[in-house]
């Protein structure tokens, strides 16, 4: 008698003992993936912690050039194997504290208009 086990979308017909072992190994692998995954909140807090621990100061404000901070953020994301920015949704998917989704859209439109006029 054979047992069917599916791993990563592929079905296998194997002996029941092998099916149970494959299933257990697959589940353990998935748990390890989840344990090593960095959540969005962990990434934000980790990035801020890293910035505050660096010897070189980093100034953040609307009056300062953001290129250095963007480079630091990219370095952080790459070092933590975070997925790339989804250019089809970012920055429209970001809501700043104190905003609602509709006011965030208005802010984004103003930013686009401002960048278009300064280009």
The tens digit of pLDDT for each residue in 14-70 reads 888 888 888 888 888 777 666 667 778 888 888 988 888 889 988 888 888 888 898
Residue 26 structural domain: 3-36
Residue 13 · residue 4 · CB < 8 Å: yes
75-to-82, 86, 94, 95 alpha-carbon distances in Å: 10, 17, 20, 23
What is the distance between the alpha carbons of residues 34 and 19, in angstroms, rounded to a whole number?
23
Q: What percent of the chain has pLDDT over 90?
A: 6
* Single pTM value for the model: 0.55
Closest CA to 20 of 28, 31, 8: 28
Same-domain status, 47 and 25: no
Same-domain status, 96 and 116: yes
Same-domain status, 102 and 70: no
> How many structural domains are present in the chain?
3
Same-domain status, 75 and 92: no
Same-domain status, 75 and 93: no
């Amino acid at each position: 008698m054979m047992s069917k086990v599916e791993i990563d979308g592929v079905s296998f017909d194997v002996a029941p003992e092998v099916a149970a072992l494959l299933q257990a190994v697959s589940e353990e692998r998935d748990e390890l993936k989840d344990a090593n995954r960095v959540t969005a909140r962990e990434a934000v807090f980790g990035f801020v912690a890293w910035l505050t621990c660096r010897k070189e100061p980093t100034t953040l404000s609307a009056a300062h050039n953001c290129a250095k901070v963007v480079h630091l953020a990219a370095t952080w994301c790459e070092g933590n194997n975070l997925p790339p920015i989804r250019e089809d949704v970012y920055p429209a998917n970001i809501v700043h504290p104190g905003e609602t989704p509709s006011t965030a859209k208005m802010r984004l439109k103003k930013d686009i208009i401002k960048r278009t006029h300064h280009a």
